[in-house]
Amino acid sequence: MTATLLDGKATAATIKDELRERVKALAERGVVPGLGTVLVGEDPGSQAYVDGKHRDCAEVGIASIRRELPADATQEQVDATVADLNADPACHGYIVQLPLPIHLDTQRVLEMIDPEKDADGLHPVNLGRLVLGYPGPLPCTPRGIVELLRRHDVPLRGAEVAVVGRGNTVGRPLGLLLTRRSENATVTLCHTGTLDLAAHTRSTDIVIVAAGVPGLLTADMVRPGAVVVDVGITRVIGADGKGRYTGDVGPEVAEVAGALVPMPGGVGPMTRAMLLANVVERAEADLESAGRS
């Protein structure tokens, strides 16, 4: 292995330490930030993610508001849960864990979330704010990636970045984030319609793979010394018959890349830290505006 590993777990722990201090300062002013989660159904993977978010909350002093509905919950029940969290002053931000069971209208649910309480930063209003350069909560995974690179002194200004994947939660908003004036990277957004993917990934300083295709990025597709970020997370059944998660970056890439954000231990913990950051920032902004009125 030649690549330096950029440790998302350690960086997330540092960010959580910083957030704990901000939560303490809020508590001294009488505010306890609250993060809500809405989980529909019993998918063990989704349950594990949601459990992780509440553990994170406990670590930094954020209150947890947990709503669970059965897999056969009606649209009306889910809508009512969202309306309830929108109205709950103790809830500064919340997420609806995705994917929802297929009988539910995901777009409708996500659009019902109060954009000011959108801890994921994925509400259409907030994605629109990102396009327009207006302030608002940022999508957690893209923000976590930028934060991780920044804290490891990976220059973005003037850098050429290939993003592989145009999904609504990572690739698409990441392209928007990296091309803001404050980041000033030049982005090539690659996707399943890209004819010669390797030509794009080989000619850049940074390759960020968020395609959900295990092993998509191989060593021959990476310029020696480049920075590689693995955002893929796909459940696969190993040779031993056990389920495990695998990334989009092949293991041999570590021999070529200059630096690597691995999976696990990279983007996932950063995503969770940014969720907390969005909630703390919301609570701070509420207090600011209360002080002005």
Active-site residues: which are they? 53, 97, 120
Asked if 98 is part of the footprint of ligand GUE (rule: CB under 6 A), the reply reads yes
Contact flags string 249-278 toward ligand GUE, x per CB under 6 A? --------------xxx--xx-xx------
Number of residues that bind ligand GUE (CB under 6 A): 16
Angle in degrees, CA 143, 144, 147, rounded to 5: 85
Q: Which two tokens stand for residue 17?
A: 């330490």
Contact segment (CB under 6 A) with ligand GUE among 96-104, 157-165, 172-180, 220-228 equals 96-104
Among 56, 120, 205, 284, binds ligand GUE (CB under 6 A): 120
Measured from the CB atom, the residue of 159 and 257 that comes closer to ligand GUE is 257
Q: Detail the DSSP E strand segments found in the chain.
A: 4-5, 34-40, 63-69, 93-96, 160-164, 186-190, 206-209, 227-230, 234-237, 243-246, 259-261
Number of C-beta neighbours around residue 18 at 10 A: 13
Asked if 5 is part of the footprint of ligand GUE (rule: CB under 6 A), the reply reads no
Measured from the CB atom, the residue of 9 and 180 that comes closer to ligand GUE is 9
Query: How far is it, in rounded angstroms, from Cα 191 to Cα 171?
Result: 9
Q: 42-50 long-range contacts, Cβ below 8 Å, gap at least 24?
A: 42/70, 42/71, 45/235, 46/97, 49/97, 50/97
Is 45 annotated as belonging to a binding site?
no
Annotated binding-site members for NADP(+): 165-167, 233
Residue ranges binding ligand GUE (CB under 6 A)? 48-49, 95-98, 120, 140, 233, 263-265, 268-269, 271-272
